[in-house]
Amino acid sequence: MQRRSKGFAVLALAATLALAWAAAGAPETRAAQGSADGTVGVDVLLRGAPDEAILAELGQYGRVAGVLPEIQGVHLVAKASAIGRIRELPFVAAAGPDRVRVAGPVATEATGFASFSGGLAAWDLDAIGVGEEGRPGRLVAEDGRGVYVAVVDTGLLKDWRDYLPESHVAVEYARSFGGGGAAGLNVSEQPHKWERDQNSHGIHVTSTILGYDLGGVPIGGVAPEATVIPVKVLNQNGSGWSSVVAAGILYVADLKAGPLKDSPVVINMSLGGPGPDPLEEAAIDYAISQGVIVVAAAGNAGEAGMDFPGAYPPVISAAAAGWTGEWVGGANWWILGDVPDPTDPGDFYIAGFSSRALPGQDLDVAAPGSWVVGPYQVNGQHSYYFLGGTSMATPHVAGTVALMAQKDPGLTAAQAEAILEATAVPLGPGCRNVIPAPGLSPAPVCWGADATGAGLLDAQAALGATP
């Protein structure tokens, strides 16, 4: 098979890089939620079904731009000043502004690999006990077979088949949703746009779960035999709205209630933003009630606190950890080094960008999220980059949950969270001296007890504790 040349590019980003989330700034400086005329997206959770009379009354405050009947939800475009009055309506359970959420022609050429179960393990798979760095094969019996992982994100690049095994991407279930916010656009499906991503965030996240083709070299994933469902809810610059995220979650929940009722389903959300949203939380509750397990990023806001939906207690949230052995031996450390076994918390650190849990927020576990390599295109060129962020930590946790669900197909969200927390390697407050990337100055990395949750993800121990 003729292959295109694929250069390997290394982006010299600081370990504190927060991907798209950092570019968006601190929570209070992110994209404005309203338009110039004062209208905003308003998410409304009702006490009962959204019948014609209720929709008509809501229409007096703004324009109805979407209805989510599974959770008795309505998306409006209205003046921000109307939110208080909407909340006072007797049939309204909750209402709030639609929240900003960020991630931080179709190619026909396939990778040539059916899966990446035998791929080389990078440092991150070694760190969680799934593989041995630089060696092919796996250290655990489970590989995710029979489990679906919905990656609710930016979708996939048009040439995703160059990187991922086509047989492990459920194209029949892949979807894209858009709209939301204050633009006056209905929250709706966008046919075929799921494989038109120009951001690369979604494919990098997916590659951690399935593995990827590195110019003809197979690199292993956490759950290489799982099946990924791409669900695009963020636009081409990696941002979007919580109302659209809710629509994506409901779509996956309905798959679980319908054609996938006999298969375990996990949602990976490497996205988030400031403040909770009633529709998003109701959609998560609905998905969990259908048997879906939801994993989300803790956020990249550091001391400013966790992002939502990661901070929502029913969600399994992921903080970002790194390895103190990074950059030892040069640029190929990520595939040629060796994370010492058994896991020693002294070999790991919590990244400075990783969101700390404020009172009332629920941080569960930490996973590799600093200097993770995967497909990432710049200017449409085939390339691979180191990326850092809780976005990168999340698929390690979601992939591990997929392995657990393969072993126990009846695994619930609460059980998965309890097992992950009980088997995590405790990582107390502290500081580490970490070798920096070329061109960066060394500096100690420090964190407190609010940064780690239960500790470092240990996939082997989690599988051992799964019935």
Active site residues: 153, 201, 391
How far, rounded to the nearest angstrom, does the alpha carbon of residue 260 sit from its chain's CA centroid?
A: 21
Count Cβ atoms below 10 Å from residue 86 Cβ, excluding itself: 21
DSSP E strand stretches across 306-462: 316-323, 348-350, 365-368, 372-375, 384-387, 430-433, 444-447
Count Cβ atoms below 10 Å from residue 245 Cβ, excluding itself: 33
CA distances from 328 to 129, 207, 437 (A): 20, 24, 9
The amino acid present at 109, given as its one-letter code, is E
Using alpha carbons only, give the angle 209, 211, 217 rounded to the nearest 5 degrees: 170
Question: Which residues pair with residue 365 across a beta bridge?
Answer: 318
Please tell me the distance from the alpha carbon of residue 222 to that of residue 241, in angstroms, as a whole number.
29
Backbone angles phi, psi at 386, to 5 degrees: -75, 130
Q: Which of 169, 194, 189 is nearest to 179 (CA)?
A: 189
CA distances from 460 to 117, 125, 168, 342 (A): 16, 11, 23, 11
Ramachandran region, residue 24 (left: φ > 0; alpha: ψ -120 to 50; beta: rest):
alpha
Report whether 294 contacts 178 (CB < 8 A): no
Question: Which residues pair with residue 96 across a beta bridge?
Answer: 43
Backbone angles phi, psi at 264, to 5 degrees: -65, 140
Backbone angles phi, psi at 178, to 5 degrees: -145, -175
Please tell me the distance from the alpha carbon of residue 342 to that of residue 361, in angstroms, as a whole number.
31
Residues with Cβ < 8 Å from 351, sequence gap 6 or more?
A: 15, 16, 320, 321, 322, 369, 370, 388, 445
Please tell me the distance from the alpha carbon of residue 233 to that of residue 184, in angstroms, as a whole number.
17
3-state secondary structure of 49: coil
DSSP E strand stretches across 59-147: 62-68, 73-79, 92-97, 100-102
